[in-house]
């Protein structure tokens, strides 16, 4: 199938001045010009920022692409260029078909005009033909639920009616390509939910979708592929689970493995030094993300520098600021006084136990001095990984695809007694 | 939080459900109506260095132009008690004041046609020009929400802004016709057919200046203060309340640089059977109008890519 969107080396440069003093008076500007001409003010060449830098991707017809990244990473700039609100500084993009965006919901609504008049106005602004609006008018009116007030000026509408009518027009626009910026979309929870619902419809209807959002769960659900932007650059483009995991790790500043090469500067005290922490799959591969159904290993490597009291490895897993559990190796071998050497330990967390989301790992080596626990080394957020459910129906959420609460998510055995009359 | 999420899910589902219900009763739309843009491939590139007016694109967006014109016409007189009657009352009242002040007290020269007819022949096109210039200069800033959220050729905004006052002009014509009837000054002959051309000249001038000033107004809001001052002086320099011929010969060249002089003296000739205008003055006026148009367009098109970033 042909590419609906092909983007090549797209870049957008802003001058800082343009962002800060968006407009000034003629006098200010002329005095700036005078200063510049007389050389009393240097050219603001250094005050340029690239909001978008050399971004390329192609999106096949009917596919959904998520775009994630921190605020200011260039997500909105990318959408603005694709919707042609602003022009790129460099690069080019080709778009096949009519483009719509939920950014435009209610754009151009005029309070003095009636609901019906606004449907025509808004439709024309979105790019619908008059005949097309005319044909769809009954549908739009019905979907909005404000049929009775179609001949009332919109200024007398409640905000809810206003949004419903606006959304209804946008929802019936039916462009081939849908660009959605969730960050900018306004409205109450219901409206947002409608947007999401409509997005899923659109995806199902074979439409091409570009979805910009902070709601990572929504992105992962709606898009197979995700583009990660960082400081205007596309740093990753791949399957949504992998990209979302990577993004979460950059946000928390953690990764799936961490190594301290130099024993002298590695965290620890005169007895124990932590050398590395790593999250592994069952096959030993480093794991940025873990399938919720499969076991995942937390590998700790540490050096004991001298003979001393008995020490043992300990981990603490947290998610969303909540402790999931603490665990330490209670094998009798750790009861012996410690002997110098390198130790490699892996704690295996069973499949179907952790819930979805980002899990951070605190790594420690302790000695027990009841009622105290003596931490010889303790590294907060030493590593992290992302647990995700491919939604194949055999995890503990079954065929349910909605929100699943809980710190853990075990797959339990259920006993059933059935009695028939 | 999570509770809210799950109800959100349900709502999303019901919203979906609603869409599906609607889609079942969807009326079949002929394919060319359903998706006029299917075959359209849009290429997004950096703004070109040599701006030009993309006429095929304007044609593609013609329905939006008419919708914007329709919106402004409808909105203009909503919530006014007298409604569209204002389009008659304003020029009639202005002309009345001019006739009393300049005709009765100051005894301005009438150039051989009844003075009230002469004045209304100047007031109507001048009022058209004044609203066109003001509206088109403010058009980008006034439609900020559109400019920052949706793409369409920005030239549509000043263009719609100079078409809307044409409706007022046409509605105001009865004032002229009544005065022509009262004073029995009917057009001399076929020259009445030239009248639309002179209005076209006013439109081109206003649009050119509108392109320039609206682009400037995006960056410098000073424009909104300059225009009223300019528009107060302009009638005096365009012969609204006097016949252009009555100005001494040695100053005629000054008036020639103002296309509105050509518009007004031309309209009086074609509609009110006044003396023919100075043809060289008309030629200079047309030249100035065309130059204004292309300069304005060039400024507008070259700053167009920055509108959304600057507004």
Give me the number of domains chain A comprises. Answer: 2
Do A183 and A240 fall within a single domain? yes
Do A223 and A284 fall within a single domain? no
Out of A250, A266, A284, pick the residue that ends a domain.
A250
Do A185 and A288 fall within a single domain? no
Backbone angles phi, psi at B165, to 5 degrees: -65, -15
Local structure of A116: helix, strand or coil: helix
Instruction: Provide the residue range defining the domain that includes A350.
Output: 257-388
Q: How far is the alpha carbon of A119 from chain B, nearest alpha carbon, in Å? A: 11
Do A73 and A136 fall within a single domain? yes
**Arithmetic mean of pLDDT, B152-176:** 92
**Arithmetic mean of pLDDT, B150-156:** 89
Residue A416 lies in a domain: no
Residue A322 lies in a domain: yes
Does ipTM surpass 0.90 in this model?
Answer: no
The whole-angstrom separation of Cα B46 and Cα A70 is 26
Do A235 and A125 fall within a single domain? yes
Q: Which residues are within 8 A (CB) of B71 and not within 5 positions of it... i.e. 6 or more apart?
A: A110, A113, A117, A121
Look at residue A278 in the predicted model and tell me its pLDDT. Answer: 95
Which of A402, A404, A407, A409 to probe by mutation at the B interface, max B CB count within 10 Å? Answer: A402
Judge whether residue A192 has pLDDT over 80.
no
- How deeply is B249 buried, as exposed, middle or buried, from its count of CB atoms within 10 A (0-12, 13-18, 19+)? exposed
A to B CB pairs, distance under 8 Å: 184
Residues 267-306 of B with CB under 8 A from A: 305-306
Give residue-wise pLDDT tens across range A114-144.
999 999 998 888 888 889 899 989 988 888 8
What is the signed CA dihedral for B127, B93, B244, B224, rounded to 10 degrees?
-30
B89: left (phi over 0), alpha (psi -120 to 50) or beta: alpha
Of A14, A84, A95, the CB nearest to B309: A14
Do A227 and A306 fall within a single domain? no
Q: Is the pTM of this model over 0.90?
A: no
The whole-angstrom separation of Cα A227 and Cα A75 is 10
Residue A224 lies in a domain: yes
Give residue-wise pLDDT tens across range B89-101.
889 999 999 888 8
Residue A396 lies in a domain: no
Judge whether residue A41 has pLDDT over 60.
no
Judge whether residue A228 has pLDDT over 80.
yes
User: Across all residues in chain A, what is the average pLDDT?
Assistant: 83
User: Across all residues in chain B, what is the average pLDDT?
Assistant: 82
Backbone angles phi, psi at A252, to 5 degrees: -85, -5
The whole-angstrom separation of Cα A212 and Cα A179 is 8
> What residue of A is the nearest CA neighbor of B69?
A121
Residue A54 lies in a domain: yes
- Written as six digits, the tokens of B284 are 């200079």
Do A225 and A296 fall within a single domain? no
Q: State whether the Cα torsion B55-B61-B63-B68 is positive or negative.
A: negative
Judge whether residue A313 has pLDDT over 90.
yes
More confident residue, B15 or A51: A51
Q: What is the CATH number of the domain that holds A228?
A: 3.40.50.300
Do A318 and A377 fall within a single domain? yes
Do A273 and A185 fall within a single domain? no
Do A148 and A31 fall within a single domain? yes
Q: Which of A110-119, B4-13, B271-280 has the lowest mean pLDDT?
A: B4-13
Buried b or exposed e, range A213-248, using 16+ CB within 10 angstroms: bebbebbbbbbebbbbbeebbbebbeebbbbbbbbb
Q: Check CB contact under 8 Å for B16 and A110.
A: no
The 3-class SS string of A257-290 reads EEECCCCCCCCECCCEEEEEEEEECCCCCECCEE
Residue A399 lies in a domain: no
Q: What is the CATH number of the domain that holds A290?
A: 2.70.50.60
CA triple B233-B237-B239, angle to 5 deg: 120
DSSP B43: E
Give residue-wise pLDDT tens across range B211-255.
999 999 888 888 889 999 999 999 888 888 888 888 888 888 888
Look at residue A15 in the predicted model and tell me its pLDDT. Answer: 74
Judge whether residue A112 has pLDDT over 60.
yes
**Arithmetic mean of pLDDT, A392-410:** 82
Residue A418 lies in a domain: no
Judge whether residue A46 has pLDDT over 70.
no
Do A224 and A122 fall within a single domain? yes
Give A-chain residues touching B24 at CB under 8 angstroms.
Answer: none
**Arithmetic mean of pLDDT, B19-29:** 36
Give A-chain residues touching B303 at CB under 8 angstroms.
Answer: none
Please answer whether residues B70 and B165 qualify as being in contact, where contact means their C-beta atoms are separated by less than 8 angstroms: no
Transcribe B213-262 into DSSP letters: HHHHHHHBTTHHHHHHHHHHHHHHHHTSSS-GGGS-GGGHHHHHT-HHHH
Q: How far is the alpha carbon of A236 from chain B, nearest alpha carbon, in Å? A: 23
Buried b or exposed e, range B49-62, using 16+ CB within 10 angstroms: eebeeeeeebebbe
Q: Check CB contact under 8 Å for B19 and A201.
A: yes
> How far, CA to CA in Å, does B92 sit from each of B78, B99, B118, B134, B163?
21, 10, 13, 20, 21
How many CB atoms lie under 10 A from the CB of residue B106?
11
Partner A contacted by B144 (CB < 8 A): no
Do A206 and A274 fall within a single domain? no
Look at residue A126 in the predicted model and tell me its pLDDT. Answer: 84
Q: Which of A145-149, B4-8, B262-266 has the lowest mean pLDDT?
A: B4-8
Local structure of B295: helix, strand or coil: helix
Residue A408 lies in a domain: no
Look at residue A301 in the predicted model and tell me its pLDDT. Answer: 95
Residue found under tokens 């100051």: B106
């Amino acid at each position: 199938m042909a590419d609906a969107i092909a983007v090549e080396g797209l870049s957008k440069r802003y001058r800082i001045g343009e962002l800060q003093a968006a407009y000034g008076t003629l006098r200010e500007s002329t005095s700036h010009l005078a200063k510049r001409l007389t050389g009393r003010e240097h050219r603001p060449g250094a005050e340029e920022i690239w909001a978008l830098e050399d971004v390329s991707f192609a999106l096949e017809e009917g596919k959904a692409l998520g775009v994630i990244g921190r605020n200011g990473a260039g997500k909105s700039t990318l959408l603005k260029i694709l919707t042609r609100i602003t022009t790129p500084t460099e690069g080019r993009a080709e778009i096949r078909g009519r483009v719509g965006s939920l950014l435009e919901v209610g754009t151009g609504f005029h309070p003095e005009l009636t609901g019906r008049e606004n449907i025509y106005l808004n439709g024309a602004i979105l790019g619908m033909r008059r005949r097309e609006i005319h044909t769809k008018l009954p549908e739009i009116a019905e979907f909005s639920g404000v049929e009775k007030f179609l001949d009332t000026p919109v200024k007398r509408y409640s905000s809810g009616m206003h949004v419903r009518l606006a959304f209804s027009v946008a929802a019936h626009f039916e462009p081939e390509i849908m660009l959605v910026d969730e960050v900018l979309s306004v409205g109450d929870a219901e409206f947002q939910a409608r947007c999401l619902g409509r997005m899923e419809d659109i995806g199902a209807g074979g439409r091409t979708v570009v979805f910009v959002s902070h709601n990572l769960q929504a992105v992962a659900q709606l898009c197979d592929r995700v583009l990660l932007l960082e400081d205007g650059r596309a740093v990753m483009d791949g399957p949504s689970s992998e990209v979302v995991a990577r993004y979460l790790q950059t946000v928390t500043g953690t990764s799936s493995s961490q190594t301290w090469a130099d024993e002298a500067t590695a965290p620890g005290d005169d007895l124990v030094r932590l050398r590395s922490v790593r999250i592994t799959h069952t096959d030993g591969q480093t794991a940025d993300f873990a399938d919720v159904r499969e076991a995942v290993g937390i590998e700790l490597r540490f050096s004991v520098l001298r003979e001393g009291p008995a020490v043992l490895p300990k981990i603490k897993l947290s998610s969303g600021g909540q402790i999931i559990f603490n665990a330490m190796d209670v094998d009798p071998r750790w009861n012996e006084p410690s002997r110098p050497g390198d130790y490699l330990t892996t704690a295996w967390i069973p499949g179907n136990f952790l819930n979805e989301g980002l899990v951070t790992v605190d790594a420690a080596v302790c000695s027990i001095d009841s009622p105290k626990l003596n931490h010889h080394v303790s590294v907060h957020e030493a590593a992290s990984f992302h647990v995700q459910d491919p939604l194949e129906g055999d995890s503990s959420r079954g065929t349910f695809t909605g929100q699943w609460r809980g710190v853990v998510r075990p797959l339990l055995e259920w006993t059933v007694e059935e009695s028939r009359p | 939080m999570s509770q809210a999420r799950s109800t959100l899910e349900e709502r999303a589902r019901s919203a979906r459900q609603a869409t599906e219900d609607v889609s079942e009763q969807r009326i079949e739309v002929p394919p060319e109506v359903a998706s006029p843009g299917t075959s359209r491939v849009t290429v997004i590139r950096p703004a070109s260095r040599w701006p030009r007016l993309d006429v095929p694109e304007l044609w593609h967006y013609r329905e939006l132009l008419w919708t914007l014109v329709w919106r402004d016409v409808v909105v203009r007189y909503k919530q006014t008690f007298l409604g569209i009657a204002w389009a008659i009352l304003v020029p009639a009242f202005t002309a009345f004041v001019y006739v009393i002040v300049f005709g009765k007290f100051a005894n301005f020269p009438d150039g051989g046609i009844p003075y009230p007819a002469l004045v209304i022949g100047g007031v109507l096109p001048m009022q058209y020009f004044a609203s066109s210039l003001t509206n088109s200069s403010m058009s980008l800033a006034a439609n900020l929400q559109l400019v920052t959220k949706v793409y369409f050729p920005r030239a549509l905004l000043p263009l719609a802004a100079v078409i809307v006052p044409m409706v007022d002009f046409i509605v105001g014509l009865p004032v002229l016709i009544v005065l022509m009837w009262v004073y029995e000054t009917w057009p001399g002959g076929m020259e009445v057919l030239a009248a639309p051309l002179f209005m076209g000249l006013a439109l081109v001038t206003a649009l050119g200046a509108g392109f320039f000033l609206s682009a400037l107004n995006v960056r410098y809001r000073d424009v909104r203060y300059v225009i009223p001052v300019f528009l107060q002086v302009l009638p005096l320099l365009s012969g609204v309340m006097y016949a252009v011929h009555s100005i001494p010969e040695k100053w005629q060249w000054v008036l020639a640089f103002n296309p509105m002089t050509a518009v007004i003296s031309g309209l009086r000739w074609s509609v009110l059977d006044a003396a023919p205008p100075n043809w060289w003055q008309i030629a200079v006026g047309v030249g100035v109008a065309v130059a204004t148009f292309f300069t304005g367009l060039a400024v507008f098109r070259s700053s167009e890519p920055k509108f959304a970033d600057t507004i």
